[in-house]
Structure 1
Amino acid sequence: MFLLLRLLSKCPLRLLHAVGAMAGWLTFWASPTYRRRYRANVAQAGLAWSAVSDGVAAAGRMIAELPWLWLRPPGTPLGERVRWDGAELIEQALQDRRGLVLMTPHLACFEICAQAYAERFAESANAPITVLFRPARQAWLREVVDGSRGRPGLETAPANLAGVRQMIRALRQGHTIGLLPDQVPPEGLGVWAPFFGHPAYTMTLASRLLQQTGARALLIWGERLEKGQGFVVHVRPGPEIGRELTPESAALHINRSMEELILQAPSQYLWGYHRYKQPRGLDIGAAPTAVPAPAAGPAAGPVVESER
């Protein structure tokens, strides 16, 4: 399998995306469960099928481009494959040396964001990025993924208590961390908060890190361009999560910022992701039928105007 990934990593990005698009549609029609979940999530967001149908192919493109991203030699720059939109926001945030939390949903090529950041900012600003990850179960895949993310200026933290401590240290040193706040957290590590109007078990890690360290928050996503032309990394202001906010209120603000980002490019979001699933192993019964609005209190600042 490793040899196959190595072979695919040498293929042009345009070819990988074309093959991935076909694989995405094959998966969609071959799996009734995936197809139902995809359509249900789209309906929950209130979007027309025409606005998200290309997301089926986009999911396949995301998988197909992984060998190119993971097995790219560490010394080979992304170069012109990546363009930036809003990089000045990162530059300004890093000047404060308060630490920076970059948040992205399962939107477009989220893998490119950490690599692009490390290449542009880690050395020049003396601020490497640490990303949270869950090690793959297969030994060969774990070796590939670990090697891909262990790049200059890019560090990894395991999804456990030791990893959380590592991220806190990074933020207190004025460094950067990367998180996917729309990922369903493990048992006991989240709260129920609306996501496109439906209760979703939402991680509290992002808000806790911001509240404990006083770090800045920015939103980031890697737009996938057509015909293998590369990517545009977009950066936008993130929600302000004050220390006075409850976990439920903070989760609501973060979810709203994720929704805003997704609606900017709905055809590149992973609508097949099981966002509304029950957290594994958490004995809480069925998800609530409604999530009460957070108690009145200080506002968490404006949610990003239509761009995520």
Structure 2
Amino acid sequence: MADFLARFLYFCAALLARLPWPWLMRLGNGVATLMLRRDSREARVARRNLELIEPGLLPAQREELQQRIVRTTARQAIETLRFWTRPHTENLGLIREHHGVELFDAAISAGRGVIVAAPHYGNWELLNQWLASHTPLAILYAPPESEIGDAFLRRVRADDANAHRVTQVRAEGPGVRQLFKILKDGGVVGILPDQQPKQGDGEFAPFFDVPALTMTLLGRLANRTGAAVMFAYCERIDGGREGRPAFALHIDAAPEAVADADPVIAVTALNSALERIARRDPSQYQWTYKRYTLRPSGRGEDNPYRGIR
């Protein structure tokens, strides 16, 4: 039943994605307007995150940035439906600029393995498609609680000629062991480094000056395998008058400290690098995500999102 419903959802998404890009962008703007008027969960989470990370903003400044974040979130959802259901070669034509590809190629050629740290910035699904077109890789993902959602994700991320080049690895014990083996064999692994891990699977480190529980897995993988760590993201840029989105691919070498044997040093370096990326254009970062739910023990801090469901 889950596979059947996933196929049905895919069919609906594919129909929507056939609309011209200008229509899709207007649809995204309309969804954002509705989310703001109804003060949706995403709008409230974005507001709360801005209160946490930018307490010095004036109310009007915070509202303006919140509106841009919600608008980008809605567009991201529409873009992603299109990317999931259209040929990858067509999607990749929207990447107008490429920065750091030579660094990525050199890291792969070195044969020590490569960890691609892909933050929730810009459009990370388009980045996944570019990576799959460039090299075989394994992508670590946290499966949705819904069986239908998991089946849908597996379908949309494999529905292309490059499907055989992508291994989707569940963020569980056997999957982590698989990542170690892939890296030791000189392979490429993709990780979303800014998802809040479970208590006990991370360390706290500042992210926009707020302590955030941060995964230690990336640092352990890099430290134990000697793999190179590269940050990668597809950033939205001006698409001109064509009415369609445009992106710039960026790949940057991570600071050496992300592979430090001390997990606190490693996650601090990781968050510092992630923050530099997010500050390029805060509206392109996923501030609709509850990044600070878990708080350091002994400080008496409550869940800042309490009451936001």
TMscore range, shorter length: 0.7 to 0.9
2:52 aligned partner, one-letter code: Q
Q: Structure 1-normalised TM-score?
A: 0.81
The Cα offsets for residues 228-249 of structure 1, whole Å up to 9 and x where unpaired, read as 2332211112121376531111
The Cα offsets for residues 110-156 of structure 1, whole Å up to 9 and x where unpaired, read as 1111210111x21xxxxx11111122344443233102223242221
Match of 2:165 in 1: 153
Corresponding residue to 1:275 among 279, 291, 299: 291
1:233 equivalenced with 2:249 (yes/no): yes
Moved more, 166-175 or 239-248: 239-248
Corresponding residue to 1:81 among 94, 105, 108: 94
Which runs of structure 2 are paired with 1:67-106 in the superposition (5 Å)? 67-73=81-87, 76-83=89-96, 84-106=98-120
1:159 aligned partner, one-letter code: A
Moved more, 226-235 or 236-245: 236-245
2:290 aligned partner, one-letter code: H
Task: Quote how far apart the aligned CAs of 1:171 are.
Answer: 1.0
Cα–Cα, structure 1 residues 192 and 242, in superposed 2: closer, same or farther, change >3 Å? closer
Corresponding residue to 1:15 among 6, 12, 23: 23
8 Å Cα contact 2:118/2:193 also seen in 1? yes
1:196 equivalenced with 2:208 (yes/no): yes
8 Å Cα contact 1:99/1:175 also seen in 2? yes
8 Å Cα contact 1:70/1:145 also seen in 2? no
Task: Quote how far apart the aligned CAs of 1:219 are.
Answer: 0.9
Q: Aligned equivalents of 2:269 and 2:123: distance in 1?
A: 23
Q: Structure 2-normalised TM-score?
A: 0.81
Q: Aligned equivalents of 2:260 and 2:217: distance in 1?
A: 16
SS state of the match for residue 108, structure 1? coil
Task: Quote how far apart the aligned CAs of 1:221 are.
Answer: 0.9
1:250 equivalenced with 2:266 (yes/no): yes
Task: Quote how far apart the aligned CAs of 1:253 are.
Answer: 0.5
Corresponding residue to 2:149 among 125, 141, 145: 141
Task: Quote how far apart the aligned CAs of 1:9 are.
Answer: 2.6
Corresponding residue to 2:226 among 208, 214, 239: 214
Moved more, 128-137 or 98-107: 128-137
SS state of the match for residue 199, structure 1? strand
Q: Aligned equivalents of 1:5 and 1:173: distance in 2?
A: 37
Cα–Cα, structure 1 residues 11 and 136, in superposed 2: closer, same or farther, change >3 Å? farther
1:182 equivalenced with 2:194 (yes/no): yes
SS state of the match for residue 228, structure 1? coil
Cα–Cα, structure 1 residues 168 and 288, in superposed 2: closer, same or farther, change >3 Å? farther
Which runs of structure 2 are paired with 1:259-274 in the superposition (5 Å)? 259-274=275-290
The Cα offsets for residues 244-287 of structure 1, whole Å up to 9 and x where unpaired, read as 531111111000000000111212111121010128xxxx8576
Task: Quote how far apart the aligned CAs of 1:37 are.
Answer: 2.8
Q: Aligned equivalents of 2:229 and 2:259: distance in 1?
A: 14
Q: Aligned equivalents of 2:196 and 2:23: distance in 1?
A: 32
Task: Quote how far apart the aligned CAs of 1:161 are.
Answer: 0.8
Task: Quote how far apart the aligned CAs of 1:32 are.
Answer: 5.8
Which runs of structure 2 are paired with 1:32-43 in the superposition (5 Å)? 33-43=41-51
Cα–Cα, structure 1 residues 272 and 239, in superposed 2: closer, same or farther, change >3 Å? same
Q: Aligned equivalents of 2:185 and 2:94: distance in 1?
A: 30
